[in-house]
Structure 1
Amino acid sequence: MSETLNLQASEKELALRWLDITVERFQANMRQLRIKDTGALLASFKKQVIGSAEGRLQLQLSYALYGKFVDMGVGRGMGASVKKGDDGYDRIRTSRGRLKRYERKARKWYSKELAYQTKRLAELMSELHGTILISAVADALPETVEITF
């Protein structure tokens, strides 16, 4: 029973450290790509580790929704209800529908880093479980082994 509690504590500690590093990497990517108009996206990160009764560990990482739009290079323009014939359309858009003033450009601060960090978390967890398995087997072995021929 104590090994199970020790494993859960180790998993939770590993998950907390992984979340801290992941948020730091996301914020470093945003600074490098100069995604800090107001600083609200940088400050919007919230992280939490949730342990369940079944022994499964859940990680929760949240941030402002518009961060995904910055990553994809979309969302800078008019509201969804503005149509081609409405007032203000010609002021902001060309006849082909492109924005006159802003050029949308994807700034990949999220997608590549998330893929890498998810893979890294899987590696860390498997390494943790492997180490615990080896130590459990080593503890179960007898201190001395006699071999008679």
Structure 2
Amino acid sequence: MTANPTLVSDLDVAKKWLDITITRFVDNMRQLRIQDTGALMASFKQQVVGSAEGRLQLTLSYALYGKFVDMGVGRGMGAGVTKKDDGYDRIRKTRGQLRRHTRKPRNWYSREMSYQTKRLSELMLDLYGQVLITTATDVPGETTINF
């Protein structure tokens, strides 16, 4: 059984893309000073899985609270705390705003992910365009192309 040469190439592109994306995310976090404990930066995990049909599956995971930092929400109180509870006045004003911290979005994820997703689609388009051209020109007669 021979390995599909385009699958190896796809895997290489996907792994490099994931490495670059994680590096850019960490750089964005450092630039925006989102490194209180470093746990969010250390939580990135990546996986690329190739199947026998030539399909790729990319997985990029990180700590959930990183999404809340990006949106500027979720800071201050535990789940289920209401105005009737002790300590509510200590943390929040009468209108519900936090006393110490102001919430503001720090976009380390949303802009970069949309850019990187577009970039991955361009890379795969170039790769499959080159494969399609070489397959169509190299094989005389009938040509079957599987993606």
Letter aligned with residue 90 of structure 1: D
Greater shift, 53-62 or 89-98, is seen at 53-62
Partner of residue 54, structure 1: 53
Label 1:140 to 1:53 Cα distance change in 2 as closer, same or farther (>3 A): closer
Partner of residue 131, structure 2: 132
Give unpaired runs (5+ residues) of structure 1. 143-149
Residue 53 of structure 1, CA deviation: 3.0
How far, CA to CA, are the matches of 1:89 and 1:116 in structure 2?
Answer: 41
Letter aligned with residue 131 of structure 1: Q
Partner of residue 10, structure 1: 9
Letter aligned with residue 44 of structure 1: S
What TM-score results when the alignment is normalised by the length of structure 2?
Answer: 0.91
What TM-score results when the alignment is normalised by the length of structure 1?
Answer: 0.90
Specify the structure having the higher radius of gyration (Cα). 1
Residue 85 of structure 1, CA deviation: 1.1
Partner of residue 147, structure 1: none
How far, CA to CA, are the matches of 2:95 and 2:34 in structure 1?
Answer: 28
Equivalent residues, number: 141
Give unpaired runs (5+ residues) of structure 2. 142-147
1:14-93 matches, cutoff 5 A: 14-93=13-92
Residue 133 of structure 1, CA deviation: 1.2
How far, CA to CA, are the matches of 1:52 and 1:139 in structure 2?
Answer: 25
How far, CA to CA, are the matches of 1:40 and 1:81 in structure 2?
Answer: 25
Letter aligned with residue 80 of structure 2: S
Aligned-pair identity in percent equals 65
Residue 81 of structure 1, CA deviation: 1.0
CA offsets 1:9-32 (integer angstroms, 9 cap, x no match) = 110110000000000010110010
SS at match of 1:48: strand
1:93-108 matches, cutoff 5 A: 93-108=92-107
Partner of residue 108, structure 2: 109
How far, CA to CA, are the matches of 2:34 and 2:78 in structure 1?
Answer: 22
Partner of residue 118, structure 1: 117
Moved over 6 A (4+): none
